[in-house]
Structure 1
């Protein structure tokens, strides 16, 4: 493997030479600087680099090129090197191009030609792209090998953990020849899956999620035992709080038990988020927020499950499932909600083996030419139906209500109506699931007629209700009868402050019944269940944290 590559693409020979010259002057000792005169020529170069196993750090492409413009090229380049950072070169203030670049290829930066002096207009942008690439998982672990069973719940959880945390991996089925050879080489049996092999040759047999996260380079241990702010939960609200907390000078750590992004991170495309008129995938949004939080100095701890919150004077202490603890002056609870269990005969035993909660995008390829059933009537279910319709022969969306309008955004309802292989079934629920080692059939119940029908299905995705992850807070903060956490005015029953409240003031708007513990996003009682509002609450919570810390 050679030095990592910086690639520039421009059909103007003078501009192409200037870009390469400026890049070599600053980065030539550590990186190879390559240039191409067209999109097709650059793609040929990228394919050769891929075959040789070389790494591509960043690609700078001119927008206006013949044959293939910069956006079209960057979109194809993403398929070859998805973690390479991307910049668009343009001599025009082209708003349409900017919007398309953000939404189609998740461009990292724009450079207006000319960029003189490069010390002010070129190098700072490229420095940021290099730093982002270095922090991305594949800069540490380039080729994790995962051996597992197709219909194994632990194997699915391992794949899902890697995919949702943007860790590249190669999947091998234990039922196929190459998978069996890897098991034999690792002196493992089919009962030891999932089997993980790192590029350094480290072998893990049936690892825990924390063990898997640690070996692939994800952060699982805190650098300190005390912080200004601990954020619990890595969805939009938690990421918003981490970005604003760290950017405003608070020593901040975010704790997440699975992967950053939360339920929103599993959405194939969010189309009503401000500033993204063509939509943005949940994973792209989560990746940008994750990088932004790290840029400002926030720590991100993954696969850490909080089991208790304690108050010791002005100190707030979180206790983890493994017995570890972490303390802070203030806490933001942004734990979100979990999809409610389907709760029908057969479903629990088939979870991860045909029955999935959330989008489970790692299953998309396996749905090719299959029948897919999606349960739910809100936006997350609609987005999943649109996504899986690209792969499946047919997608059947089950809604227990008489219409989608009560719970789904209008734009999604229109999209679903326009997709020929999506079928919406109202007043319909799942009564039972069937299968031996994996899902094979689903029994449906029509609430209007009371009739049951059993249909073949290998994939069932569940998006029903939302249960807050707050049982570990029982007795510490006030919760409502559904487990959501009231804050601010919601705590002032009959004008009285909550029991045990020791301060002379009322709780702040997002403050729980325990001073210094704030709540943001879906877990907060009466919150608006939208990505934009969750991000806004995360930011607002940090403002209130500052106010609280100023009282001490």
Structure 2
């Protein structure tokens, strides 16, 4: 196996040589030391390292570099090597930049220059980071490759699956030279697409999500049959419950149908989460939480859909869509919500073909130079508009109401107003869509005048409220008329509050407990919850304390 890389980048030749010299002297036997004199050169080196299938363990970057600061470089480097530990080299005056980097790029450490002697100020830091890197669960070093059509709903679903699970991949069009070469090498004619080529060179023709996840090194099957706590759903609430459950010694498994993070994980920037004054992307925040859960021994299962919940003796049994089961003494329901679809002629057929529900962050770079339409007036729509504005020539927000004030945070409204190429069209709704193999036209209606307008459109992203994913709980726990799970004081009194096993008369339900004792609901799926990331995480933590009470008093 090639030696893991330690990369250093500094535009000062003297400093660059000194850092490389010190690192080579201490770590050169077991690591390859690579140095670069600019952010662009370092990114090019990282791309070459990735193509060779090598690994990067630690990156040290100077903050004050021309054209690209250290923080900017580290943020881009995360896309290539998310596991690499990140160090910022700073002068005393740059400590504010270091604090920013902790929020923006999940900085592991910052070093004040000079760091002499290295035996005291450099090597202990690098030793600690290398040890942390070795403990981080590994992913295949080589990239997964997808060959498909540009306007293919299934190709999009696979790209979204891998991107949200932070699995490196490349997408090739079937009629491009590289796509054609890969199909030919696999002995395929491209009649059935998409094709996924794994890092080991195995070609999978139109594979399932579970097949792709397993080949990419993600855990898809439980290692045990009985757990103290099973968490269903990997959004902020589920991750919060998993982290606290694992850290407090409960044997915990977290089950997620697509990728950890939920809707929050697709947010380009969350700016009102406590402790992140400069904001943090949903992917970065949830990746930290996932790594934290794994550190505490939590099993994280991906692409597993729970279809049933029942009581067998003193345990709760979860059934998966393939018929397999796991049992747990307690369960936390954190399945979140899904965006409602637009009931508009033409849109159903174009889902995944230019029409997307949610942020679809994998598609943002493909919108370069084009017009993007965003439907919705709440925070999720505003965050998406800001993200797409980095790529698109024009972003048009379509809002049914008279303004954004009623549904969007003020900080986000001010940001949108400051971007010249974001247009907000209020009192406007989509009433029609058309296109052959992808979205080509939208029909818009002014809700005041009734006038309609047909516009050219290739990209439509919809954020129009959400519905809970609770059909599989019908008859198992009590829900409200919209499908949200009722818990604690919100449970109706009398026989209607009883689950299949009946409610225990000697005590009232705990605050987050559902009508089925030992089963708790947190986050957006819970009736009456506050739809915020921070509150979901707090409920996840609270649920674990209630789980302890349930386990102690059964």
Question: Is the structural similarity TM-score above 0.5?
Answer: yes
How far off its partner does 1:12 sit?
Answer: 9.8
- Look up the SS of the partner of 1:191 in the other structure: coil
* Partner Cα distance (2:51, 2:268) in 1: 29
The farther-off stretch of 43-52 and 417-426 is: 43-52
Aligned equivalent of 2:71: 71
- Look up the SS of the partner of 1:381 in the other structure: helix
Q: How many residues align?
A: 547
Aligned equivalent of 2:147: 147
* Partner Cα distance (2:153, 2:69) in 1: 43
Structure 1 segment 80-229 matched on structure 2, within 5 A = 81=81, 83-90=83-90, 92=92, 95-111=95-111, 113=115, 116=120, 122-132=126-136, 135-137=137-139, 140-229=140-229
CA offsets per residue over residues 85-138 of structure 1, 9 Å max, x none? 212345759651233212343323345657738786552333113433xx253x
Aligned equivalent of 1:257: 257
Aligned equivalent of 1:286: 286
Aligned equivalent of 1:519: 521
The farther-off stretch of 501-510 and 145-154 is: 501-510
Aligned equivalent of 1:547: 549
The farther-off stretch of 93-102 and 436-445 is: 93-102
Structure 1 segment 84-483 matched on structure 2, within 5 A = 84-90=84-90, 92=92, 95-111=95-111, 113=115, 116=120, 122-132=126-136, 135-137=137-139, 140-483=140-483
CA offsets per residue over residues 400-428 of structure 1, 9 Å max, x none? 11211111111111111111111111121
- Report if the CA contact (8 A) 1:188-1:205 is conserved: no
Task: List runs of 5+ in structure 1 lacking aligned partners.
Answer: none
Aligned in 2, Cα 1:492/1:116: closer, same or farther, shift over 3 Å? farther
TM-score (norm 2): 0.91
CA offsets per residue over residues 61-92 of structure 1, 9 Å max, x none? 35567997643553454466455321234575
CA offsets per residue over residues 433-472 of structure 1, 9 Å max, x none? 1111111111112211122221110011011111000000
TM-score (norm 1): 0.91
- Look up the SS of the partner of 2:524 in the other structure: coil
Task: List runs of 5+ in structure 2 lacking aligned partners.
Answer: none
- Look up the SS of the partner of 1:190 in the other structure: coil
Aligned equivalent of 1:7: 7
Task: Give me the CA root mean square deviation.
Answer: 2.8
How far off its partner does 1:386 sit?
Answer: 0.7
- Report if the CA contact (8 A) 1:492-1:498 is conserved: no
The farther-off stretch of 326-335 and 34-43 is: 34-43
Aligned in 2, Cα 1:522/1:186: closer, same or farther, shift over 3 Å? same
How far off its partner does 1:277 sit?
Answer: 1.3
Aligned equivalent of 2:58: 58
